[in-house]
Chains A and B, each alone.
Chain A
Amino acid sequence: MALTQQDIDQEIAAERAAYEERVAGGAPVEHHPRRDYAPYRSSVLRHPQRPLVAVDTAQDPDMVELHSPAFGERDITGTDNDLTRHHRGDPLGERITVSGRLLDRSGRPVPRQLIEIWQANSAGRYAHQREQHDAPLDPNFTGFGRTLTDAEGRYHFTTIQPGPYPWRNHVNAWRPAHIHFSVFGTAFTQRLVTQMYFPGDPLLPYDPILQSVTDDAARQRLVAAYDHGLSVPEFSLGYHWDIVLDGPVATWTEEGR
């Protein structure tokens, strides 16, 4: 029998109950999904079964992973962070501005690093050949942008509110509206790919990808805040979303940034 939303809801609830039990038993808070989160069916054959091997970066401060690739002004053009200006015409949909800061676990800003985003158009369709969803492509919207954080770690994008879209995880599976983010830090160990969601989206509880973050507070950190101060008069609605990179970094006394 085909897998229904109700089946997935039960699995999601069971995963959350198991997590809450672990924490009640003294286990640490889990900020990231478990890679073997079965309600997201694609994960079943794509996660390691052996435990990861811990590498203590303090034992070898020279390891290459404590450094990060560099990006600069020549990697970016002026309109790369304005996804509404990548074609001759204006894209369809509600214009939004998304802004926030890139920080490390200590709250220090990460300046001059690369943030890439990609997303569906306002109808919920990606500009990707293999995308099968029967929603219109927008000739004036590709849905890919990038920027460098400024000296205070701030980033800023102008784009279109993405639409929700169906997928084949189970019958009647819909992804909530989201923007994909790819982020670099001061160390390669901090590399992050994630997704930003929108507040009040009724699809959030049904989505096994978002719910793979079983910790309530951690999951909430993936939802942007509507910020009226970021809304641009006569132009766009504003959302604020800070990104905090995990993973060890080189000690601050070391060379460089």
Chain B
Amino acid sequence: MTKTGTSSPGRPGQVLPTPSHTVGPFYGYALPFRGGEEIAPLGHLDTITVHGYVLDGAGRPLPDALVELWGPRPDGTVPRVDGSIRRDPATGGCLGRNGVEFTGWGRVQTDAGGHWYARTLRPGARGRGAPCLSVCVFARGLLVHLFTRIYLPGDEAALAADPLLTRVGDRRDTLIAAEQAPGTYRFDIRLQGEGETVFLEFR
């Protein structure tokens, strides 16, 4: 079963998926990279800061969660730019981003206090939805990662028209970040219990 047979393309669901597993506790020397949270090009005027805590069912912050962010440019287009984790061919070390190009993707580990932050570009609207950043959360104890979204407050008409926000009813506030200062937004991720974040299953 580990060797998937040759298959004819175009018949969906034909090959069975590899099961997910937890990221475990010891990815910290491997997956995070320098500048993973600095997604916005340096000095870009559309830069926003998003930050918050990842909390468990007892309200305790997770010191070992990994958050990935993925979002479009301010004009709504999706970057196809590599270079998030550039390597130095001379030393094999990590160079990180070049501060000029926008890859749209970042990765940040929570600190010892369970806090994470990222600076990225304000996402533009795409399709039928209000502008948002896509979030993928990994942690020790979490057997399958969790997807959610960060919507930004401000354009109430766009938020009111968003299909997902409309469907989740009174839980919509868990998906909308709180503006703390111009361009700075707080977004906590509650894995369980009171105020549990809305998590998504893409079909």
Contacts and interface: CB of A to CB of B under 8 A. Distances in A.
A220 B1 contact: yes
B202 A193 contact: no
A32 B144 contact: yes
B127 to A, nearest CB: 3
Interface stretch (B10-18, B44-52, B114-122, B180-188): B10-18
Contacts, number: 285
A103 B4 contact: yes
Contacts of B23: 180, 182, 193
Interface in B1-41: 1-4, 6-31
A86 B92 CA distance: 8
Of the listed residues A34, A76, A86, the one surrounded by the most CB atoms of chain B closer than 10 A to its CB is A76
A32 B81 CA distance: 31
Interface of A is mostly: loop
Interface residues of A, number: 98
A228 interface: no
A24 interface: no
Looking at A43, A70, A116, the one whose CB has the most chain B CB atoms below 10 A away is: A70
Given A48-B146, A243-B18, A70 B103 contact: yes
A75 interface: yes
Given A71-B82, A71-B84, A241-B2, A194 B127 contact: no
Contacts of B4: 101, 103, 107, 242, 244
A61 B128 CA distance: 9
A69 interface: yes
B2 A46 contact: no
Given A65-B70, A126-B26, A244 B202 contact: no
Interface of A: 31-35, 37, 40, 42-50, 52-57, 59-65, 67-80, 86, 100-101, 103-108, 116, 118, 120, 126-131, 142-144, 146, 180, 182, 188-189, 191-195, 209-210, 212-213, 217-225, 240-248, 252, 256
8 pairs of A and B residues whose beta carbons are closest in the complex: A62-B127, A42-B141, A72-B82, A107-B7, A69-B105, A118-B30, A246-B17, A46-B141
23 contacts: A45-B58, A45-B60, A48-B146, A50-B198, A53-B200, A55-B200, A55-B203, A61-B127, A63-B126, A65-B70, A69-B104, A70-B82, A75-B84, A77-B88, A86-B92, A106-B15, A107-B15, A118-B27, A143-B30, A188-B136, A193-B21, A221-B17, A242-B3
